[in-house]
Structure 1
Amino acid sequence: MRNLQYYGGILMQRLHWLIFLTFLGAAAGLLIGRTMTPIYKADALLVVEGDSIPDQLASSTVQTDTNAKLQVIRKRVLSRDSLLDMAKRMSLYPTLRLPSGARDADAVYTALTHDIDITISSQKTSSNRDKEAIFLNISFLAGQPDQAAQVANELVTRVLKEDSDIRTKAARDTLDFFSREVDRLSDQLSKSAAAILRFKQENGAALPERLSLLRDQADRLQDEQAQLAAKVSDLEGQRDRLIRRHEVSGAKVDLDAIYPPPLRELARLKAQRAALQAVVPEEDAKLAALSAQIESATKALKVKMPAGADAFDQRLRQIEDEIFEAEAQTMATKEKVEQIHLDLSRIPANAASLDAMQRDQDNLREQYDRAIKSRAVAQTGDTIESLSKGERLTVIEQAVAPNEPVKPNRKTIAVAGLGAGFVLGLVLILVRELLKPGLRRPEDLTAKLGITPFATLPYVYTAADKAQRRRQRLMSSGAVVVVVFVFVILLGVLYMPIDLIF
């Protein structure tokens, strides 16, 4: 207890030095903080807003994950080319140059990445606990407050542009894709319809819908064949009876004389050609062959029909021509029946081909209908994005020039100077007392000389001693007052006006 009182008394005697060094340290801290280069930080805050139009009425075609989109935007804005372009346009870091005088691109890029901070954060909304509001905080550090705000706002502009570009490009790409898909499917549908039409035109006689008709025609032609066969037989019978009756009268019948064979052959060929023309197309090879035979027979013909024919000769020639026509019709009917049977045999294959082509066309039409609906949705989404009615970034707080720097922390430096001065004062007082020789307490006699005093006499100050002590106290007090006064002035000049502090 006595030691504490003794040291407390010493401290009180040297209190002016402690106060002096404490305020001196605080003033030094203020000066050091003021001389350090200030760094200002400007902040801007953006939020991701939801769609302005309810999804039940119309939805945007841009369905990207919000966090993923913000990460992409952040990477694009902080890309090397983007940052160097911004530094060049805004004349940032003009002192970072190579020995040649050119801008040091690597140093500028490194400085920008160090001074720019883009942070993505989320927060639960009060209206919906399960839904998070996503925020984007953009900050920039600079030596000038105006420059910090300008660069931060430039970054905000670039972020908003990237967000708009991503959404409008995605919506436009979606619309372009479905528009091309509609055009492609429409072209394929046209080709499919043309192919079906061409197939039906090429196989018109052997289409599935003609199956019943072809069968009826085949049955009818078979009946006609039987009738024609009976007609030929009847005409031949008429010819034979006519010849027999004529021979009964005593006249000899020479058919070659009445109807020369070359003329009969020419009549038979013409009858065949006339009958075939009714059942086969003009370009048929058989017709061409018959026409060539008729032309050759006509050129080679050297006989003429005998003159002076009586009624018997004319009737005989007529029956012969009718036989040729009936036989030609029989041949043409047989040709038609064979063609019908061929068409009937082709119908199953044609039906399978048509079914496959029709299925392909139905699939194409279904895809086309879906593409039309998707294109309509894409057009709505593109309109939503062009009008900025979809999910988008909006600015909550624009960056403004800060009033106070974030670095250095002058208050902390001043407090540190104040503490350092106080500690330095204590250390100096302690060191001075420890290094001061002499005996000042009865305890010193016992500790240093081993003598136990019986009594102690106080020091008697003379008038000169008292005057010297007054002068020392006055000088110390004056020094303390000067230091405090200087500290207050420095505080008002370097930190904050006195009227605002007090």
Structure 2
Amino acid sequence: MDEEQNGKTISEYLEILVRRKNLLLISFLTIGFLGFVLAMKLPPVYRSSATILIEDQQIPRSMVETTITDFADKRIELIRQRVMTRDRILSIIQKHKVYLDERDKLVPSEIVTRFQEDAEIKMISADVLDPNRGGGKATIAFNISFSDSNPVLAQAVANELVSLFLDENTRVRAQRAAKTTDFLSAEAEKLKTEMGSFETQIMDYKAKHGYSLPEMLQNNLSSLDRATESLRQTDSDIRIAKDRIVYLTDSLRQAEDDVPASETGKPLNKDEQLRLLKSEFIHLSSLYTATHPDVLRVKRQIQNLEPTFDGQANEVDARKELTDAENILIELKKKYSETHPDVLKQEKRVSNLTDKLANAANKTAELAEDAHQGNTLYSSIANQLTTTEHELAQLITTREQLQKNKLELQSYIDETPLVEKEYQDLLRMRQTSLNKYAELEAKYREAKLAQTLEEEQKGETFTLIEPPIAPDKPEKPNRKKIIAMGFGLGIGVGLGLTLLLEFMHETIRGAKALERVTGMPPIVAIPYIQTPQDKLNQKKRQKLIWIISLVVFIALIVVTHFAVMPLEQIWATLLLKLGKL
């Protein structure tokens, strides 16, 4: 073999290993045995697992759409957070008597943490092609497992976790579907109340602006045309009535001046004079005021013949004063309400003037009747005049009412554009609420179907396809691996100690080592000559090593039997393993 220029050769390393073979053997056996003891001493950990399949809803989504739209892994994580709470974990530990040996050593928070570490939830994903959500990775199932030194206890706890997950999933889905239904129902009730409010507003608006609504525009225009035509006809009738009054008044004056043929050329008695004077007084009162000299002259003449005459027969002045008072009352009502003091005062005044006019009319009629008794033509014309005056008064009242109606109709027509805008806004808001309500009603019916779907467990469900069982083989520790690692570590520690001792004791061994130190090769190399005493000492050392090895081996067997596992159990396990081979 080639030698190394500045280091030891492979043969020298092999020589070191041969020289330190006892150290290597002791290290290999000791650490290997410790690894074996550790592998046998570690308690077995059994893991019981269950597989839960996530099945899609039984009813096609095109017919009934579920209200649970989140992904399965997110929902599983939420359920895990609900299930793995402190109170539930402590309840499971108390129910199944888990960690009995550690309860006195650990506080409850540490026990909860230990349980969370022993319980494991693992998702199972696959590449899927969903027509609704597209392709990609999707969680199709998940595993729930629990680890414990007792396989039966591990199975019981795993069963408990599976039951909690299945029940919680059913409860949560039904609860979320019910909350969705309740929310939509509450919103629909709010919209129904809002629609009722809009209906009330529309009714109030119609009651307030009923004649100015858009649908009343054509009717108002037609009524305005009729009112205008009626007003024109009334004005024509008033002109005719006034002309007739003028004609009858002239005729009445002519009849008043006529004297009966039987009394022509004869002197008048007192009564006839009184009638003529009263007739003249009425005529003058209709032409002049009460202070006119002619009126006063005739009044004095009448009082000379009839001292009780009071001069209250002026119906014209009373009518004029009443007309003025009524006009003032109309103006006040336009400015103030019906209960205003000025309005009430003027109404009382109009009432008094009406009584005064009635008295004046009665007086005038009595005077005219007394003055013109026996004059048939005069009485006929007077009756026609009175009738025509009444007709004129009625026509004037009718014209005023028509003018008032015309103004009201015109105001309704003028208000129609503004009223139409506000009215259409109310109708639009009501229609918007109706559309929202119809949409919410449709969503509510869909949510109610989805709720029924979840309550009857026809939606997406968790199905237990592989229940947890009591495992017959521990998951850990891997005893073979630990034992192999122990013996491998023993070899490594032995090699390390050997190299450490060689570097610490730099003894020159062999001609090559001497040549590396001096730089010159030796002239001759004399091998080590072993004496009989050296051979005897070597045999003694070998014997001592074997004795020590035997003692150590027996001690290891005893320790294994009493501290790790009985020898008969080890032998039975070994035979079982060999039988399987």
2:433 aligns to what?
364
In the alignment, is the contact (CA less than 8 A) between 2:314 and 2:360 conserved in 1?
Answer: no
In structure 2, how many angstroms separate the alpha carbons of the residues matched to 1:132 and 1:411?
38
Superimposed CA distance per residue, residues 139-188 of structure 1 (whole angstroms, 9 cap, x where no aligned partner):
11112111111111111122223322332222112211221222222222
In the alignment, is the contact (CA less than 8 A) between 1:267 and 1:321 conserved in 2?
Answer: no
1:191-206 aligned at under 5 Å gives the runs 191-206=197-212
1:23-62 aligned at under 5 Å gives the runs 33-62=39-68
1:10 aligns to what?
none
Greater relative contact order, per chain length (Cα 8 Å cut-off, separation 6+): 1
CA offset at residue 45 of structure 1?
A: 1.1
CA offset at residue 337 of structure 1?
A: 0.7
Superimposed CA distance per residue, residues 31-70 of structure 1 (whole angstroms, 9 cap, x where no aligned partner):
6544432222111111211111111222212111222222
CA offset at residue 305 of structure 1?
A: 0.6
Q: RMSD value over aligned CA atoms?
A: 4.6
Say if 1:238 and 1:155 are closer, same or farther in 2 by CA, change over 3 A.
same
In the alignment, is the contact (CA less than 8 A) between 1:258 and 1:313 conserved in 2?
Answer: no
1:337 aligns to what?
406
Matched, 1:395 2:464: yes
Amino acid across the alignment from 1:260: E
2:144 to 130, 138, 145: 138
The farther-off stretch of 130-139 and 349-358 is 130-139
Matched, 1:305 2:362: yes
Amino acid across the alignment from 2:389: E
In structure 2, how many angstroms separate the alpha carbons of the residues matched to 1:495 and 1:151?
32
In structure 2, how many angstroms separate the alpha carbons of the residues matched to 1:304 and 1:247?
18
In the alignment, is the contact (CA less than 8 A) between 2:318 and 2:356 conserved in 1?
Answer: no
Matched, 1:295 2:351: yes
2:568 to 476, 481, 489: 489
In the alignment, is the contact (CA less than 8 A) between 1:266 and 1:294 conserved in 2?
Answer: no
2:415 aligns to what?
346
In the alignment, is the contact (CA less than 8 A) between 1:33 and 1:410 conserved in 2?
Answer: yes
Superimposed CA distance per residue, residues 194-229 of structure 1 (whole angstroms, 9 cap, x where no aligned partner):
221221121111111111221122122122222111
1:408 aligns to what?
477
In structure 1, how many angstroms separate the alpha carbons of the residues matched to 2:435 and 2:360?
73
1:74-223 aligned at under 5 Å gives the runs 74-97=80-103, 104-124=107-127, 132=138, 134-223=140-229
Q: Percent identity?
A: 21
1:12-23 aligned at under 5 Å gives the runs none
1:373-452 aligned at under 5 Å gives the runs 373-413=442-482, 447-449=527-529
In the alignment, is the contact (CA less than 8 A) between 1:44 and 1:138 conserved in 2?
Answer: yes
Secondary structure of the residue aligned to 2:64 is coil
Superimposed CA distance per residue, residues 427-469 of structure 1 (whole angstroms, 9 cap, x where no aligned partner):
xxxxxxxxxxxxxxxxxx9842399xxxxxxxxxxxxxxxxxx
In structure 2, how many angstroms separate the alpha carbons of the residues matched to 1:349 and 1:86?
74
In the alignment, is the contact (CA less than 8 A) between 2:121 and 2:143 conserved in 1?
Answer: yes
In the alignment, is the contact (CA less than 8 A) between 2:73 and 2:139 conserved in 1?
Answer: no
In structure 2, how many angstroms separate the alpha carbons of the residues matched to 1:496 and 1:163?
48
2:78 to 55, 63, 72: 72
Say if 1:403 and 1:25 are closer, same or farther in 2 by CA, change over 3 A.
farther
In structure 1, how many angstroms separate the alpha carbons of the residues matched to 2:221 and 2:491?
124
In structure 2, how many angstroms separate the alpha carbons of the residues matched to 1:419 and 1:264?
141
CA offset at residue 498 of structure 1?
A: 7.5
Amino acid across the alignment from 1:67: D
In structure 2, how many angstroms separate the alpha carbons of the residues matched to 1:163 and 1:359?
45
In structure 2, how many angstroms separate the alpha carbons of the residues matched to 1:403 and 1:413?
20
CA offset at residue 396 of structure 1?
A: 1.6
The farther-off stretch of 377-386 and 490-499 is 490-499
In structure 1, how many angstroms separate the alpha carbons of the residues matched to 2:152 and 2:314?
126
In structure 2, how many angstroms separate the alpha carbons of the residues matched to 1:43 and 1:228?
106
In structure 2, how many angstroms separate the alpha carbons of the residues matched to 1:418 and 1:493?
23
In structure 1, how many angstroms separate the alpha carbons of the residues matched to 2:574 and 2:444?
64
In structure 2, how many angstroms separate the alpha carbons of the residues matched to 1:157 and 1:121?
19
CA offset at residue 97 of structure 1?
A: 5.0
Amino acid across the alignment from 1:449: I
In structure 2, how many angstroms separate the alpha carbons of the residues matched to 1:389 and 1:81?
31
2:247 to 222, 241, 244: 241
CA offset at residue 238 of structure 1?
A: 0.9
Say if 1:263 and 1:318 are closer, same or farther in 2 by CA, change over 3 A.
farther
In structure 1, how many angstroms separate the alpha carbons of the residues matched to 2:244 and 2:251?
11
Q: Which runs of 5+ in 1 are unaligned?
A: 1-17, 273-281, 425-444, 452-471
The farther-off stretch of 65-74 and 252-261 is 252-261
The farther-off stretch of 40-49 and 253-262 is 253-262
In the alignment, is the contact (CA less than 8 A) between 1:492 and 1:498 conserved in 2?
Answer: no
Say if 1:322 and 1:268 are closer, same or farther in 2 by CA, change over 3 A.
farther
2:276 aligns to what?
none
1:440 aligns to what?
none
Amino acid across the alignment from 1:54: P
Amino acid across the alignment from 2:44: P
Secondary structure of the residue aligned to 1:134 is strand
In structure 2, how many angstroms separate the alpha carbons of the residues matched to 1:488 and 1:246?
162
Amino acid across the alignment from 2:113: T
In structure 2, how many angstroms separate the alpha carbons of the residues matched to 1:350 and 1:380?
45
2:394 to 325, 329, 333: 325
Say if 1:351 and 1:420 are closer, same or farther in 2 by CA, change over 3 A.
closer
Superimposed CA distance per residue, residues 467-495 of structure 1 (whole angstroms, 9 cap, x where no aligned partner):
xxxxx9xxx9xx99xx9xx9983335456
Instruction: Tell me the TM-score normalised to structure 1 length.
Output: 0.71
Say if 1:98 and 1:331 are closer, same or farther in 2 by CA, change over 3 A.
farther
Say if 1:147 and 1:496 are closer, same or farther in 2 by CA, change over 3 A.
farther
